[in-house]
Chains A and B, each alone.
Chain A
């Protein structure tokens, strides 16, 4: 039976998520695994925006901030389950992305970069300054999602880190499935045609502005969900979730692994999340090493790690 590229990607991703715990020496690693998967969800959204449609964003952490604080604030003020906070945040981010998307996406290249950067920084400043609501720079605690009690009720007997890892694994598989479906659909083809040439796409009848906006809104919802889940996983949220560095980290993960592919971007998320953990041994050299790796990968493997390695592999085999 001939399997499509989509099926291969999903199978590879599912196997990675299922088999990785065999190499975990302690349950602390489940936690790192869960963080990797949260980042994996955010970068899957960026693959749609940047990998498919070719639009840069240096401000997607702004949507993560909206998602994170929705999951934190809505349960407190409206006395509802955190899941509703997460969903409300996703809707809010989507609507906001729709509203700002049209003027922002008229810009190109570095102008687009600075406009999205400005949006992200504005969200960060608001979260940082409205201390009465958000707790300011100190952040605020977030209600539990109740995954642990769910796992106990089902008789799985997993601890918090483990249950979060498997839960996030399912979410990321679902997110990747949707993104991959989009890739091969007519809408996905239209999006990818923008990447190569907006003018050519336009002459072929692709509504350029509408498709760019669609990609922007979808990726904003992914970022918002990732922000909510990060806040719920940590049980705590600070304005840094919306910070410039978060946006940059996600963009770097997307490019590092291989921007055009879901699998590559999630691989990049894994590498860039796990690396600082490994580098803590070197303490003060951590930043230097991180910067060096970012530069070296981009210089020597400009299409990203996974595609470059795959090419080597094919050439060798």
Chain B
């Protein structure tokens, strides 16, 4: 039992990071139909900027805030400079553009920062807490709690605030949203900004546990993309569930079967789910119009 609990704790921790990346995917996808393969780079920027500012003597909270702000600015620039000019391009062109952006940002980070692995101290101490024979580091609680809190905040923002409703309207039907006076370009830029900030925050929360380096983005983007597809593209709840599921599957496989094949397990589950439910677990159940 304590063993199971131990694997569950670590699964929830990595799962929360995947869920945050998947949420970022979902936000951008909903607003602009773009799957942003540079999503993992936002997480990297969040972690790297915090680590470097902290190392240069900035208080941790300020470094974290600045890192999230910088990630958001990069997200807005990505939309303005690379995605908006290519409006209407094919799925593959957009994949190439965002992968190009991901390679560009990785190269930039290697120059601006360095190619070393970095971390900064956990927010509230490093002493593990014992729960029923298993242990969990306090930072894991921050990561999981942060993931859930962001999901809740996004939910309230999207369903209760006027701006949030405008974002949802843009996601639902861009033309209709324009007709009722919503500036859809602003909403897309806002989505990129929020999505990048969520990614940056994920980097800030997770780095004390997972560490960070300039090239950590791509594998996170793949897992986050897979999590979003598992949940059903475009569904925030799907992204959350998909992220936690992949984290748990990975860690259970690593614990009980083989740590070498933990990544394989996640992708096998995704293939099986997609074969039986082609739109993921929570994807829209719409009939295709001809």
A-side contacts of B89, CB under 8 Å: 298-299, 302
| Contact residues, B132-177 vs A (CB, 8 A) | none
Provide the bound-state CA to CA distance between A115 and B105, in Å: 26
Nearest CB of chain B from residue A156's CB, rounded to whole Å: 40
Are A122 and B218 in contact, with the CB atoms below 8 A? no
| Contact residues, A237-292 vs B (CB, 8 A) | 244, 248, 251-252, 255-256, 259, 284-292
Are B263 and A121 in contact, with the CB atoms below 8 A? yes
B-side contacts of A285, CB under 8 Å: 107, 111
A-side contacts of B263, CB under 8 Å: 121, 125
Residue of A nearest to B83 (CB): A299
A167 is an interface residue with CB less than 8 A from chain B: no
Which of A50, A129, A251, A288 has the largest number of chain B CB atoms within 10 A?
A: A288
Residue of B nearest to A117 (CB): B222
Residue of B nearest to A123 (CB): B264
Stretch of A70-78, A105-113, A142-150, A227-235 contacting B (4+ beta carbons < 8 Å):
A105-113
Known A288-B108, A292-B104, A298-B89: A114·B226 in contact at CB below 8 Å = yes
Provide the bound-state CA to CA distance between A285 and B110, in Å: 9
Nearest CB of chain A from residue B89's CB, rounded to whole Å: 5
B-side contacts of A289, CB under 8 Å: 107
Using a Cβ–Cβ cut-off of 8 Å, how many residues does chain B contribute to the interface with A? 45
Residue of B nearest to A291 (CB): B104
| Contact residues, A198-218 vs B (CB, 8 A) | 199
Are A294 and B97 in contact, with the CB atoms below 8 A? yes
Are A119 and B271 in contact, with the CB atoms below 8 A? yes
Known A119-B271, A294-B103: A299·B97 in contact at CB below 8 Å = yes
Provide the bound-state CA to CA distance between A293 and B100, in Å: 8
Q: Mark B residues whose CB is within 8 Å of A.
A: 35, 82, 85-86, 89-97, 99-108, 110-111, 218, 222, 225-226, 229, 233, 260-261, 263-264, 267-268, 270-271, 274-275, 278-280, 290
Provide the bound-state CA to CA distance between A125 and B263, in Å: 8
Known A287-B107, A288-B108: A294·B274 in contact at CB below 8 Å = no
Known A294-B99, A294-B103, A298-B96: A107·B264 in contact at CB below 8 Å = no
Provide the bound-state CA to CA distance between A313 and B290, in Å: 38
Are B278 and A106 in contact, with the CB atoms below 8 A? yes
Provide the bound-state CA to CA distance between A255 and B99, in Å: 13
Residue of A nearest to B288 (CB): A199
Provide the bound-state CA to CA distance between A284 and B90, in Å: 31
Provide the bound-state CA to CA distance between A64 and B94, in Å: 25
Nearest CB of chain B from residue A113's CB, rounded to whole Å: 7
A126 is an interface residue with CB less than 8 A from chain B: yes
Are A288 and B93 in contact, with the CB atoms below 8 A? no
Are B100 and A255 in contact, with the CB atoms below 8 A? no
Nearest CB of chain B from residue A202's CB, rounded to whole Å: 10
B interface: dominant SS: helix
13 A-B Cβ contacts within 8 A?
A56-B91, A119-B271, A121-B222, A244-B218, A255-B92, A259-B92, A288-B103, A291-B107, A293-B100, A294-B96, A298-B86, A298-B94, A302-B93
Are B101 and A295 in contact, with the CB atoms below 8 A? yes
Residue of B nearest to A114 (CB): B229
A103 is an interface residue with CB less than 8 A from chain B: yes
A-side contacts of B96, CB under 8 Å: 251-252, 255-256, 294, 298
Nearest CB of chain A from residue B109's CB, rounded to whole Å: 10
Provide the bound-state CA to CA distance between A248 and B92, in Å: 10
Provide the bound-state CA to CA distance between A244 and B95, in Å: 13
Provide the bound-state CA to CA distance between A248 and B101, in Å: 13
Provide the bound-state CA to CA distance between A266 and B195, in Å: 37
B-side contacts of A252, CB under 8 Å: 96, 99
Residue of B nearest to A58 (CB): B95
| Contact residues, A36-91 vs B (CB, 8 A) | 50, 56, 58
Residue of B nearest to A102 (CB): B275
B-side contacts of A248, CB under 8 Å: 99
Partner of B226, one of A118, A284, A291, A292: A118
Provide the bound-state CA to CA distance between A58 and B218, in Å: 14
Partner of A129, one of B105, B226, B229, B261: B261
Provide the bound-state CA to CA distance between A103 and B278, in Å: 9
Provide the bound-state CA to CA distance between A118 and B260, in Å: 16
Are B267 and A121 in contact, with the CB atoms below 8 A? yes
